[in-house]
Amino acid sequence: MRKYDEYVKQMGRVADVYHAVGLMHWDTEIYMPSGGGIFRSRQIGTMTGIAHEMATSTEMGKLLDDVLASDDLSEDERRNAELSKQDYDKQVKLNKEFVEKMASAKSRAFANWTKARSEDNFAIFSDSLEELIKLKRQETEIRGFENEPYDTLLDLYEPGLRTAFLDSTFESAKEQIVPLIQNLTSREQPRKDFLSRKYDKDKQWSFGLEILKSMGYDMSTGRQDISAHPFTISLSPSDVRVTTRIDEHDFLNMTWSCIHEGGHALYEQGLAADQYGLPLGSAASLSIHESQSRLWENHIGRSKVFWEKWFPVLQEKFPDNLIDVTLDEFYKGINTITPNLIRTEADELHYHLHVIVRYEIERACMNGDVEVDALPDLWNTKYKEYLNVDVPSNADGILQDVHWSHGSFGYFPTYSLGSFYAAQFFETAKNSIAGIENQVRDGNYSQLLNWLRTNIHAPGRKYDPEDLCKQVTGEPLNVSYYMDYAKRKFEGVYGS
């Protein structure tokens, strides 16, 4: 047997265990009886431990070295083995004692965060947050870094991403977004009263499913359920599930989550099945994943041509709600720019300011520039400065996101980068697909999906994110594609 084939077999076994854990997570959110939590987290812990042991065993390390020493590897096979070796080295750097210490700190932090948020009391969370920040800084020391510790955390989510790049990208975005928002919010606001009328739950569900299917989401290898927070989970390229939530008085909630999660799911359904368990069969990075959801959500779902097809369908489903609304009013209503406190409810422009606040705070924490007790004030000051909103409570302020209680520092920036990548990818797609606007107007997305499949989905991790971007668009990530799109679009929404 070739060493490479043995490697494929072993990687597949590790993936099997991780996907079984994924199925338990999915079941926890969808079907598990409310009393099942304690044993379920124990089962998830055991299975994750088994997968981790398999992935980091000395046998696996030896096998990877043997594969890399083989002289019969194709280019793709070598790339797989090299990436697996990098992943292996990253995983074995942290010893078991440290991993366990981190895991128990996280579970304490999550419990305290939940309580702190519901009681609107930051003090309940602050000690465990401080502990997590300390452990994360230790982790960066163990892993090593060149310029600053935060770089190491960014790299875990986004290979190659550094603060130097984010500083210039976010500075440029902020300099353009803040005045653009000031300009737009000072104008007359489009009406959006019709969005909070009562939209029947079942009818919303079937409308969302119809859109999802039209995007090319394959129901024979997927399904949709309801959950508190929408998510996508892949159990294999032929079992990729999405969830949504429905609010009868907020029609957009379901719509955006269906299209957004649909974009994530199409990426997973488009990964190469013959690379199951291998780097080339996995997503390139979190930003690239987010670029797929944002491309569908912002550039298709929030566009006028998209609603030329779907608004009449919607009107037919909800005649009473939309009888006094024109397509133009609908389009403008779903694209209003309004200052808000909560990141997950933000419009396309404010969203990035929410992310930039978190980026600056995380970085200050990792550099030891700020004490944990001073964080709520720092948060509120930045919200006033960048978003011009007063934060009325910590529950709706610094305690709003779950990420820090999970120990996820360095994750937030990938959300904004996803939008920036989406704009650049979509610009390239428009230039390579003749008549794409007319296709979207007709509800036909197959050429767009094929383009995404070929250029972005099928390669998996074959290229690092920056190289993928160069490969697809001819240049590295450039925020001006996003800014040009946003200025053009919102000038149209707020213009005459």
Question: In terms of CB distance, is 63 or 417 closer to Zn ion?
Answer: 417
Answer for the pair 311, 327: CB distance below 8 angstroms, yes or no.
Answer: yes
Contact 208, 244 (CB under 8 A): yes
Among residue numbers 279 through 298, which ones bind Zn ion (CB under 5 A)? 293
Residue with tokens 């590295």: 476
Quote the Cα angle for 213-218-224, to 5°.
70
Cα–Cα dist 118/107, whole Å: 17
User: b/e map of 34-48 (b: 16 or more CB within 10 Å)?
Assistant: eeeeeebeeebeebe
How many positions of this chain bind Zn ion (CB under 5 A)?
1
Beta bridge partners of 222: 240
Q: Which is nearer to Zn ion, 234 or 321 (CB)?
A: 234
Query: Per the structure block, which two tokens stand in for 362?
Result: 């995380």
What is the Rg, in whole angstroms, of the alpha carbon atoms belonging to the chain? Answer: 23
Looking at the Cβ atoms of 287 and 293, the one nearer to Zn ion is 293
- Residues in Cβ contact with 249 at an 8 Å cutoff, skipping those fewer than 6 apart: 196, 197, 198, 199
**Alpha carbon distances (Å) from 347 to 230, 297, 304, 339, 414:** 17, 12, 16, 8, 17
Minimum CB–partner distance for residue 298 and Zn ion (Å): 12
Nearer to Zn ion, 251 or 351 (CB): 351
Residue nearest to Zn ion (CB): 293
Task: Choose between 269 and 293: whose C-beta lies nearer to Zn ion.
Answer: 293
Residue 247 Cβ vs Zn ion, minimum distance, rounded to whole Å? 19
State in angstroms the smallest separation of the CB of 424 from Zn ion. 17
Q: Could you tell me the CA-to-CA distances from 224 to 100, 220, 298 in Å, in that order?
A: 34, 11, 21
Comparison of 55 and 477: residue with beta carbon closer to Zn ion: 477
Q: φ and ψ at 239, to 5 degrees?
A: -155, 85
Q: How far is the CB of 185 from Zn ion (least distance, A)?
A: 26
Q: Which is nearer to Zn ion, 105 or 259 (CB)?
A: 259
Residue closer to Zn ion by CB (options 259, 278) is: 259
> Which residues of 221-373 form beta strands (DSSP E)?
222-226, 232-236, 239-244
Q: Residue 21 class from Cβ within 10 Å (0-12 exposed, 13-18 middle, 19+ buried)?
A: middle
CA atoms in the 13 A half-sphere facing the CB of 230: 23
Site membership for Zn ion, residue 414 (CB under 5 A): no
CA distance between the termini of the chain: 69
Nearer to Zn ion, 191 or 403 (CB): 403
Beta carbon of residue 290, minimum distance to Zn ion (angstroms, whole number): 5
Applying the rule CB under 5 A, the residues between 46 and 75 that interact with Zn ion are none
Dihedral, CA of residue 213, residue 219, residue 224 and residue 230, to nearest 10 = -70
Q: Would you call 371 a catalytic residue per the annotation?
A: no
Structure tokens at 230: 């929408």
- Estimate the share of the chain in helix, then strand, then coil, as percent rounded to the nearest 5: 70, 5, 25
Pick between residue 136 and residue 289 the one whose CB is nearest to Zn ion.
289
Minimum CB distance to Zn ion, residue 151 (Å): 23
Hey, which residues between 293 and 322 contact Zn ion (CB under 5 A)? 293
Query: CB 297 → Zn ion: shortest distance, Å?
Result: 8
- Mapped onto helix, strand or coil, the DSSP state of residue 241 is strand
Give the x-and-dash track for 238-277 against Zn ion (CB under 5 A).
Answer: ----------------------------------------
Burial state string for 403-441 with b = 16 or more CB within 10 A and e = fewer than 16: ebbebbbbbbbbbbbbbbbbbbbbbbbeeeeeebeebbb
Minimum CB separation from Zn ion for residue 416, in Å?
A: 12
List the catalytic residue out of 77, 131, 158, 261.
261
Shortest distance in whole angstroms from residue 358 CB to Zn ion = 16
In the bound complex, what is the minimum distance in angstroms from residue 207's beta carbon to Zn ion? 21
- How are beta strands 232-236 and 239-244 bridged, if at all? antiparallel
| CB burial of residue 110 (10 Å; 0-12, 13-18, 19+) | middle
Residues in contact with Zn ion by the rule CB under 5 A:
293
Catalytic amino acids? 261
